[in-house]
Amino acid sequence: MNLEKPSVIFMGTASFGIPTLEIINENYKLKAIVTNYDKPSGRGLKIKNSPVKNYALDNNITFYQPKNLKNPDFTNSIYKLKPDFIIVVAFRMIPKSIWTIPKFGTINLHASLLPNYRGSAPINWVIINNEKITGVTSFYIDENIDTGDILLQKEIQIDNQINAGELHDKLQILAADVIKKTIDGILENKINSVKQNDISDLKTAFKFDKENTLINWDKNVIEIYNFIRGLNPFPGAKTLLNIAGKVIKKKNITIYDSDYLIQPNNENNGSITTTNSSLKITCEDGYIFVKEVKVEGKKKMKIKDLLNGFKIPKNSYVK
């Protein structure tokens, strides 16, 4: 490897990229950081810095927050930095005018084993689909999303109890190692990129919305359990609680954590049974035991704490 450290521009916003940022800053010349522009969020619509922006501020690193990545002034700023690499982790689509600038190319890090699980939520969907192996992929950016030539892939086993947040934390560490090995491998001519395989039954990491985060209580218990842990801690698995009484009251609830029991039964799917400290929901071939939940109008809490002050009558159900 050349004794002079290669120069790198990092592009990203989410916390997933922080370990990669740290390893770049420790081993190469981190010329600048590009992150999303500030947007109001939350109930109070307050401006909150992204994790990547905070890293730039804490480490006194030049950063850019362009609204338009095709803006000629922004393009010229990147061009003047003469980066050897641009590294992209959890960012938005990069225009060709930017990704063609670096001497050794623009490299994206994706949290799946491409070509499967292209899209915005690969960590969630591998759990929802009960995959046993996932990983991360470094690849050259091209005109499309997550389709460029692959440089390096590393696998990780998926525990059958891990949730999306826990898998996120494991993969972000693996991602940092893969980016370092990718940069070093390119500089040492030890990595040859390969085109992504064409797969007929390609699996996609769809963006979440109000529809595809709803629990289908007609599915089997393992599918529902995987769905809940695949959406934990964000965005959470949603359902509608119908509270029995003279007039059925309806509450939106989000289930974050659960356990399950496979046991044939003759009960209606979605029916609820409670004790002082537990809540179970009937499925086709067993029961889901809710462990952590947020009921509309209340904060997120353990099920025992919820049931201390929130009584659910018999014949209540979820749908």
pLDDT per residue, tens digit, the chain (319 aa), is 446 899 999 999 999 999 999 999 999 999 999 999 887 766 666 788 999 999 999 999 999 999 999 999 999 999 999 999 999 999 999 999 999 999 999 999 999 999 999 999 999 999 999 999 999 999 999 999 999 999 999 999 999 999 999 999 999 999 999 999 999 999 999 999 999 998 889 999 999 999 999 999 999 999 999 999 999 999 999 999 999 998 899 999 999 999 999 999 999 999 999 998 999 999 999 999 999 999 999 999 999 999 998 999 999 999 9
Residue type, 235: P
118 lies in the same domain as 254: no
| pLDDT recorded at residue 45 | 66
Q: Which pLDDT value is given to residue 41?
A: 67
Residue 305: which CATH number? 3.10.25.10
SS3 of residue 7 by DSSP = strand
Partner residues linked to 200 by β-bridges: none
> Domain check: are 40 and 181 in the same one?
yes
Number of domains in the chain: 2
Q: Is residue 19 part of a domain?
A: yes
Same domain? 182 vs 38:
yes
pTM above 0.75, yes or no: yes
Per-residue confidence (pLDDT) for residue 1, from 0 to 100: 46
State which of 145, 162, 187 marks the end of a domain: 187
The reply to whether 123 and 232 lie within a common domain is no
> Which are the contacts of 10, defined by CB distance < 8 A and separation ≥ 6?
17, 20, 21, 24, 30, 32, 33, 34, 52, 86, 87, 88, 89
Residues 104 and 169 grouped into a single domain: yes
Residues 135, 249, single domain; the answer is no
What is the CATH number for 12? 3.40.50.12230
Residue 3 pLDDT = 61
Burial of 298 (0-12, 13-18, 19+ CB in 10 A): middle
Residue 39 has a pLDDT of 78
Pairing of the two strands 301-302 and 46-47: unpaired
